[in-house]
Homo-oligomer: A and B are copies of this chain.
Amino acid sequence: MQLLKKKILENGIVLGDDVLKVDSFLNHCIDTKLMYAIAQEFAERFKNSKITKILTIETSGIAPAVFTGYILDVPVIFAKKSKSITLDKSMFEANIYSYTKMQYYTINVSSKFINRNDTVLIIDDFLANGQAVLGLIDIINQAKAKLVGAGVVIEKGFQGGGRMLRKEGIRVESLAIIDSMSKGEIKFRNEEEEK
């Protein structure tokens, strides 16, 4: 998505070889017009998938998810991060390993909100190692719902999560795939190679 890539080049800040700061438009200050355009792109790519629910994870996934949900006219559920497993049967829970924090955290979704009749699209802001998406897929599987795929705003292609998920046969649509950020220079994957 050209508009997004332009914004990343203009306003993204590369820290080291693998951290991209996009807090000026994506995950602290939100460019609402860009976010709507991002959602339109997700809605277009998944328009034939008969989606009934969108699943995301707090906090930064909420903005792209709610705009996409609005355009597709479906509810959005956001998984909550909790400190420990509650063993509450009314909750679906999954453990996610954070490579950044080098520890596991638990996410949960009330079992009231996803069931076997649902066709679910995952939306998130970043895809790096793919652990968050795996956790959300775990929850969708517990609910016996159907997974359509994952829509991701920015994929860090060099961190392998996208490759791993696609190898598992999961449809991943990333609006910008970054193949390298070494020496502060952002290199995007060509659109033709993205699939």
Binding site for B on A (CB under 8 A): 23-25, 28-33, 35-36, 58-59, 62-63, 66-67, 69-70, 73-78, 80, 109-110, 112-113
Contact = CB atoms under 8 A, between A and B. Distances in A.
Contacts of A75: 25, 29-32
A8 B109 CA distance: 21
Given A58-B58, A59-B59, A59-B78, A73 B33 contact: yes
Contact of A32 (B24, B32, B70): B70
A76 B110 CA distance: 28
Contact of A28 (B28, B30, B35, B80): B80
Contacts of A67: 66-67, 70
A110 B23 contact: yes
Contacts of A33: 70, 73
A18 to B, nearest CB: 21
Number of copies: 2
A24 B67 CA distance: 18
A67 B67 CA distance: 8
A59 B75 CA distance: 17
Nearest to A23: B110
Contacts of A23: 110
Given A36-B70, A62-B62, A66-B67, A113 B28 contact: yes
Given A28-B77, A67-B70, 15 more contacts: A24-B112, A28-B110, A29-B110, A30-B78, A31-B75, A32-B74, A35-B66, A35-B70, A58-B59, A59-B59, A59-B62, A59-B80, A62-B66, A63-B76, A67-B67
